[in-house]
C-alpha cells in the first residue's frame, strides 16, 4: 500500500532534490545547547544577551565616531596607531557576540 505524501512533505522533498538545503549555515553541525538542561526562560536569556551585544556595539560605534577624527589628525602617528589597535581589539571583542550582518568593521 503506497504511503500518502502531503503537499508540504512533497515541497520539502522537491526542495531537497533541487539542492536548496545544501550549504546552509551550520550544516553538518550539532545543534547548539542540545546537551544543556532545559531552561523555560531560554528565549528571554537569549534576547537579553542579544540586546546587550547590540548595546555594546552601539557604544563602540559612538566611541569610534568620537575618536576617529582626532586619531586621523594626531601628529604622533605611533600613539594614534596604538589607540587604533586598542579600538580594533575592542571591536573584535564586541563582534564575537554579534551576528555576521551586525558586526563592526575594523578601523583601517
In this predicted model, what pLDDT tens digit does every residue of 58-69 receive, in sequence order?
999 999 999 999
CA 71 to chain centre: 28
Total domains in the chain come to 1
In this predicted model, what pLDDT tens digit does every residue of 10-37 receive, in sequence order?
999 999 999 998 888 888 888 877 888 8
Residue 107 lies in a domain: no
Range(s) of the domain holding residue 20:
7-34+41-102
Average pLDDT over the chain, rounded to an integer: 91
pLDDT score recorded for residue 28: 83
CA atoms of 79 and 87, how far apart (whole Å): 12
Q: Which three cell numbers stand for residue 88?
A: 580594533
Residue 28 lies in a domain: yes
Residue 62 lies in a domain: yes
Task: Render the burial of 29-67: b for 16+ CB within 10 Å, e for the rest.
Answer: eeeeeeeeeeeeeeeeeeeeeeeebeebbeebeeebeee
Residue 93 lies in a domain: yes
Amino acid at each position: 500500500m503506497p504511503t500518502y505524501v502531503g503537499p508540504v512533505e512533497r515541497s520539502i522533498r522537491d526542495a531537497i532534490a533541487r539542492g536548496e538545503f545544501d550549504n546552509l549555515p551550520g550544516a553538518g553541525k550539532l545543534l547548539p545547547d542540545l546537551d544543556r538542561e532545559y531552561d523555560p526562560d531560554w528565549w528571554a536569556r537569549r534576547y537579553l544577551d542579544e540586546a546587550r551585544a547590540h548595546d555594546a556595539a552601539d557604544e563602540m560605534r559612538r566611541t569610534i565616531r568620537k575618536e576617529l577624527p582626532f586619531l586621523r589628525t594626531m601628529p604622533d602617528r605611533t600613539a594614534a596607531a596604538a589607540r587604533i589597535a586598542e579600538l580594533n581589539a575592542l571591536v573584535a571583542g564586541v563582534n564575537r557576540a554579534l551576528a555576521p550582518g551586525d558586526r563592526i568593521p575594523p578601523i583601517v
